[in-house]
């Protein structure tokens, strides 16, 4: 009996596929790439305008390669089935090179791990797509040249171990540029004036000042607001116009990779990396009892919103059965890709909507169930009828000068919203008014109940979350679906950014490296240039651009900049050693600024005779160590002042005479541990991923811990012993909220001497 060797990337996928095929097939896994550029050298032979990558077997892959070769010798034909993208095509090409050309080798493509998709792909084998391979090679060589040529310059001028990346460095720049915008932002005061009005039919409703003397109402200070309030208190309120329109809200398309990462971050709190890891598990196959291993979703790296006709037909049957014919559109919804090159794969969808999330929940872990439910609901909603509602806009004249406006809406039909509603990055601040207005009629006279003037200040652009940074990269054409997750992880692992309260902050190191690269390699950190390079890589994949010419066009100016950089790049090591006014308490010398693993710090210049160091404030001020106030600011062992310091694992309190006195403790919150029988205090901690949390200082005897920052204020409603800090529902400010389940008490963060406590 003839035998076919089928090689995939993942052992899990190999196991799933093996159950679908007969004994004439042997399914093996390459476990990802088998060859790559060497780890400790450039690995690219450059001769004129020609670039020859020098691939070597990956460390630790010798046994796998031997097993694949052994299986290939026994097989009559060989089929390569890595993932259906550039990276998968390159893996297939590398495997083919390792196996040699003694037997015919073909490529098979499938976008879902189901029996029907596998059998269909096996009947339609293809040749390896060399254009896809060359597009992947181009990206790999570009990234290697940038990383291996620029990183040593950073070692020389900043410190060893740093790295630069063609895409990662641009992502860091976006974070740094946003931080610069925030610091340069000047708030502008403005006021809103809302009235509470009552008509003939209750209840009262809100109407906001819209126009003054026919022009848009712009109230810039309290004096103007007070004058308007005085005028309104003496005005007659009369409805001048009522407009009613029926509107529709259409469903969003099924997921592409970037949108899945954004929505999983918003709704599930997943990082991009976690989203892709869990999606990979769903794609490769989950054991569903007697049904065996089943691939639950289609391939999760895609830019396309296209859906197979068979999947649409099955989904329509499901909608009809689950929700009724009023939810099923007569015409199929049509969704457009940004460009034709993105149509290679389907959108991310369930392989069968018949696998209802609630029916298979027992076979999935919590993360798998939540992500599968998200994908299932988004896809089903995308094939449903729009939601319909009446929007009512009421214009009200207050005297002759002031026009107020009230907007409300009444839902007529929920449509796709019965299944799914897309999340928002701004916590719904721009969401249309959902309040239904009472019955009103034109020329009706209204009674004034209350006037609510409110002071506001314009807000700076928000810092990026993982969701909004992925969105920014996608909109600017930087990176591709397969790279977003690694970009998010890499820029954190390199210490260029850190996440606080789910938002990206640049570190001192990130700002320094970005500034150096912007000045020395302006194109590498240019957003438009990087986007054009991505477009060129797409053209290579489509066969419209020669990959060697692309590399040459990049390398010629890049090489010239490298030569210049060797002579002109600012040496931050020397420039950073600026003398400060801070005096070393050990030897009396003026301390200097140095760079270390955790950023800048103050050090005694008499090292190694004097090893005194001190933290430097993140804003660059000397004296970053803060002496703690009051009686709590004294070391319990020697009586010297205590200081707040920043270490590898976050803030901590230490004696100012260190290393003579080695007393240290965690940063306390003043909140007693609520665990029964425990007399500990909740203190500030930092997880391995750099996220702040608050735990009992009696650990490991007491394991109580929470993510939200606790405040030593008892809830006046339910008497819970402390409140926790949360974002307000609008997302602009912080509030204190009761953590007790069922208690909805909320208050503003207390203000002392014009400053929010601990903010």
Rounded to an integer, the average pLDDT of 308-317 is: 95
Tokens of 164: 């630069």
pLDDT for the residue 514: 94
- Calpha distance 238→404 (Å, rounded): 10
d(CA 203, CA 447) in angstroms, rounded, equals 12
Q: How many domains does the chain have?
A: 5
User: Is 30 in the same domain as 112?
Assistant: yes
- Choosing from 20, 55, 283, 299, the catalytic residue is 299
Comparing 8-17, 514-523, 645-654, 671-680, which segment has the lowest mean pLDDT?
645-654
Mean pLDDT, all residues of the chain:
87
Residues 6+ apart with CB under 8 A from 35: 55, 56, 57, 58, 94, 97, 98
CA distance to 81, 214, 461, per residue, from 55 (Å): 21, 71, 45
pLDDT in tens, 445-496: 999 999 999 999 999 999 999 999 999 999 998 988 888 999 999 999 888 9
pLDDT for 159 = 81
Same-domain status, 281 and 239: no
CATH code, domain carrying 227: 2.70.20.10
DSSP 453-518: EEEEE--PPPPP-HHHHHHHHHHTT-S-TTTHHHHHHHHHHTTSEEEETTEEEE-HHHHHHHHHHH
So what's the pLDDT on residue 179? 94
Report the DSSP beta bridge partners of residue 205. 197
Which pairing describes strands 445-457 and 189-198: parallel, antiparallel, or unpaired? antiparallel
Q: Is there a domain that residue 624 lies in?
A: no
Question: What is the average per-residue pLDDT within 651-676?
Answer: 81
Whether the Cβ atoms of residue 290 and residue 393 lie closer than 8 Å to each other: no
Within a domain: 612: no
Pair 154, 513: CB distance under 8 Å:
yes
Q: By residue range, what is the domain housing residue 194?
A: 189-249+389-457
Asked whether residue 466 is assigned to any structural domain, the reply reads no
Indicate whether 25 belongs to any domain: yes
Residue 620: pLDDT band with limits 50, 70, 90: very low
Asked if 325 and 213 sit in the same domain, the reply is no
**d(Cα 667, Cα 642) in Å, to the nearest integer?**
11
Question: Is 299 known to be catalytic?
Answer: yes
71 and 108 housed in the same domain: yes
Asked whether the beta carbons of 218 and 408 are under 8 A apart, the reply is no
Per-residue pLDDT tens digits for 703-743:
899 988 899 888 888 888 899 988 765 444 678 899 988 88
Q: How confident is the model at residue 660 (pLDDT cuts 50, 70, 90)?
A: confident
Same domain, 176 and 82: no
413-417, 655-659, 691-695: least confident range: 655-659
Looking at the fold, whether 108 and 208 belong to one and the same domain comes out as: no
Q: What is the CATH number of the domain that holds 9?
A: 3.40.50.140
Separation in Å, CA 397 to CA 214, 231, 243, 444: 11, 12, 15, 11
- Confidence at residue 714, expressed as pLDDT on a 0 to 100 scale: 87
Tell whether 330 and 353 lie within a shared domain: yes
pLDDT of residue 55: 96
What's 501's domain CATH number? 1.10.460.10
Give the pLDDT score at 603: 86
- What is the predicted pLDDT for the residue at 616? 64
**Cα–Cα distance between 178 and 176 in angstroms, integer?**
5
Which tens digit of pLDDT belongs to each residue from 32-74? 999 999 988 999 999 999 999 999 999 999 999 999 999 999 9
Which residues are CB-neighbours of 681 under 8 A, at least 6 positions away?
668, 669, 670, 671, 672, 673, 696, 697
Q: Is residue 673 part of a domain?
A: no
Contacts of 737 (CB under 8 A, 6+ apart): 723, 724, 725, 726, 745, 746
Final residue of a domain: which of 382, 413, 439? 382
Examine residue 638 and state whether it is found in any structural domain, yes or no: no
Over 50: is that where the pLDDT of 656 sits?
A: yes
Angle at 297 between CA 289 and CA 123, to 5 degrees: 95
CATH number of 327's domain: 1.10.290.10
Q: Which of 88-97, 101-110, 640-649 has the lowest mean pLDDT?
A: 640-649
Residue where one domain finishes, among candidates 382, 403, 431: 382
Looking at 569-702, list the stretches that DSSP marks H as alpha helix, in order from N- to C-terminal side. Answer: 572-576
**116 and 49 share one domain:** yes
Q: Does residue 500 lie within any of the structural domains?
A: yes
pLDDT at 508 exceeding the cut of 80: yes
Q: What is the pTM of this model?
A: 0.76
Residue pair 711/736 in contact by the 8 Å Cβ criterion: yes
Check whether residue 332 and residue 295 sit in a common domain. Answer: yes
pLDDT digits (tens, 9 = 90+) for 548-566: 999 999 999 999 999 999 8
651 within domain boundaries? no
**Stronger pLDDT, 341 or 469, i.e. the higher one:** 469
Residue 366, classified by CB atoms within 10 Å of its CB into exposed (0-12), middle (13-18) or buried (19+), is exposed
The pLDDT tens digits of the residues spanning 202-214 come to 999 999 999 999 9
Same domain flag for 357 and 419: no
Secondary structure tally for the chain: helices H, strands E: 18, 37
**Same domain, yes or no: 482 and 436:** no
Domain co-membership, 66 together with 14: yes
Last residue of one domain, picked from the residues 128, 149, 173: 128
Q: Residue 5's pLDDT is what?
A: 96
Query: Token pair 């909320």 is at which residue?
Result: 746
238 vs 120, 206, 404, 485, CA distance in Å? 70, 14, 10, 56
């Amino acid at each position: 009996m003839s035998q076919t060797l089928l090689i995939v990337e993942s052992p899990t996928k190999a196991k799933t596929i093996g159950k679908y095929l007969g004994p004439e097939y042997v399914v093996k896994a390459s476990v990802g790439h088998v060859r790559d550029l060497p780890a400790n050298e450039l690995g690219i032979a450059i001769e004129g305008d020609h670039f020859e990558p020098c691939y070597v077997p990956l460390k630790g892959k010798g046994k796998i390669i031997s097993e694949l070769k052994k299986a290939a010798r026994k097989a009559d034909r060989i089929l390569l089935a890595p993932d259906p993208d550039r990276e998968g095509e390159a893996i297939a090409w590398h495997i083919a090179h390792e196996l040699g050309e003694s037997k015919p080798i073909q490529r098979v493509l499938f976008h879902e791990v189901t029996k029907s998709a596998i059998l269909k792909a096996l009947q339609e084998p293809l040749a390896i797509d060399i254009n896809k391979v060359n597009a992947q090679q181009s990206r790999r060589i570009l990234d290697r040249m940038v990383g291996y040529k620029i990183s040593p310059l950073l070692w020389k001028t900043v410190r060893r171990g740093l790295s630069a990346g063609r895409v990662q460095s641009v992502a860091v720049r976006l974070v740094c540029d946003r931080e610069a915008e925030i610091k340069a932002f000047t708030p502008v005061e403005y006021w809103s004036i809302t009235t509470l009005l009552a008509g003939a039919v209750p209840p009262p409703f809100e109407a906001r000042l819209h126009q003054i003397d026919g022009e848009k109402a712009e109230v810039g200070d309290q004096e103007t607001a007070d004058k308007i309030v005085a005028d309104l208190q003496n005005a007659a309120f009369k409805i001048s116009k009522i407009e009613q329109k029926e509107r529709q809200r259409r469903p969003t398309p099924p997921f592409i990779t970037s949108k899945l990462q954004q929505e999983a971050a918003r709704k599930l709190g997943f990082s991009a990396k976690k989203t892709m890891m869990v999606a990979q598990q769903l794609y490769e196959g989950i054991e569903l009892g007697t049904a065996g291993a089943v691939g639950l979703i289609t391939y999760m790296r895609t830019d396309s919103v296209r859906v197979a006709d068979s999947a649409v037909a099955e989904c329509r049957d499901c909608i009809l059965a689950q929700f009724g014919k009023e939810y099923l559109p007569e015409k199929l919804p049509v969704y457009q890709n940004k460009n034709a090159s993105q149509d290679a794969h389907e959108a991310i969808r369930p392989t069968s909507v018949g696998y209802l999330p609630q029916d298979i929940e027992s076979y999935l872990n919590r993360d798998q169930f939540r992500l599968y439910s998200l994908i299932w609901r988004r896809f089903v909603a995308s094939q449903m009828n729009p939601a319909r509602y009446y929007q009512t806009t009421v214009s009200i004249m207050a005297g002759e000068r002031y026009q107020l406006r009230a907007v409300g809406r009444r839902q007529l039909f929920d449509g796709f919203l019965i299944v799914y509603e897309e999340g928002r990055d701004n916590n719904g601040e721009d969401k249309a008014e959902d309040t239904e207005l009472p019955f009103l009629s034109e020329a009706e006279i209204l009674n004034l109940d209350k006037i609510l003037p409110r002071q506001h200040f314009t807000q700076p652009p928000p810092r990026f979350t993982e969701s909004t940074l992925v969105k920014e990269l996608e909109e600017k054409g930087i990176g591709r679906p397969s790279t977003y997750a690694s970009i998010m992880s890499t820029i954190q692992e390199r210490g260029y950014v850190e996440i606080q309260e789910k938002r990206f902050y640049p570190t001192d190191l990130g700002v320094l490296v970005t500034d150096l690269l912007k000045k020395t390699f302006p194109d590498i950190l240019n957003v438009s240039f990087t986007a054009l390079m991505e477009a060129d890589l797409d053209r290579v994949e489509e066969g419209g651009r020669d990959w060697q010419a692309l590399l040459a066009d990049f390398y010629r100016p890049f090489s010239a900049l490298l030569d210049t950089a060797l002579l002109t790049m600012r040496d931050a090591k020397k420039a950073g050693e600026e003398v400060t006014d801070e005096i070393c308490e050990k030897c009396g010398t003026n301390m200097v600024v140095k760079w270390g693993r955790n950023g800048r710090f103050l050090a005694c210049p008499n090292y190694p005779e004097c090893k005194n160091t001190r933290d430097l404030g993140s804003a660059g001020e000397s004296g970053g160590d803060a002496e703690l106030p009051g009686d709590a600011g004294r070391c319990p062992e020697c009586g010297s002042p205590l200081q707040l310091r920043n270490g590898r694992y976050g803030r901590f309190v230490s004696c100012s005479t260190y290393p003579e006195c080695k007393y240290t403790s965690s940063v306390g919150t003043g909140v007693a541990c609520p665990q029964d029988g425990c007399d500990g205090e909740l203190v500030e901690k930092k997880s391995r991923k750099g996220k702040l949390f608050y735990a009992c200082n009696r650990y490991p005897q007491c394991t109580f811990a929470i993510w939200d920052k606790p405040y030593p204020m008892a809830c006046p409603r339910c008497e819970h012993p402390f409140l926790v800090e949360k974002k307000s529902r609008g997302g602009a400010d912080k509030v204190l909220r009761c953590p007790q389940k069922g208690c909805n008490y909320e208050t503003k963060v207390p203000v002392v001497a014009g400053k929010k406590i601990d903010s």
